[in-house]
Copies of this chain bind each other. A is one copy, B any other.
């Protein structure tokens, strides 16, 4: 395990980021992921800046963003991320029923992703014309 670096043991550079996390989230609590990344201040800064930009206000609703993050973390079997983003999604408004539907989809997508691989399904011509990015 990486020992989390507490605020009082942190460098000024790390404290400034901890302060920003607290201010942005409106809570004094800083979870362990940041306290572990603090062993690598550049990575801490880069990751936190990305999280602020990506999970901050945008077109998608915050709870939708959290559910997508959670769905990916479940597919990747990341225990910490499943725990923290289950909490995050609930805080953002995910009800038990919504979580149940996320799980329905995650389970089915994982099944079908592999069935498609095993059956080597040829891509339909109509999908080749669909652009992914615009």
Contact of A110 among B3, B76, B133 (CB under 8 A): B76
Contact of A120 among B2, B115, B134 (CB under 8 A): B2
A16 cross-chain contacts in B, Cβ below 8 A: none
Shortest A116–chain B CB gap in Å is 5
Size bin of chain A's contact surface: 35 or more
Shortest A36–chain B CB gap in Å is 4
Question: Can you tell how many copies of this chain the complex includes?
Answer: 6
Give the distance in Å from the alpha carbon of A108 to the alpha carbon of B109 in the complex: 11
Give the distance in Å from the alpha carbon of A67 to the alpha carbon of B101 in the complex: 13
Report if A106-B1 is in contact (Cβ < 8 Å); known contacts: A40-B133, A98-B60, A124-B32. no
- Please list 21 pairs of residues, one from A and one from B, whose beta carbons are closer than 8 Å in the complex, sorted by A's number: A1-B128, A1-B132, A2-B134, A29-B126, A31-B124, A37-B119, A39-B119, A43-B103, A43-B104, A55-B108, A64-B64, A70-B118, A74-B114, A74-B118, A78-B116, A81-B116, A82-B118, A83-B130, A86-B127, A86-B132, A106-B118
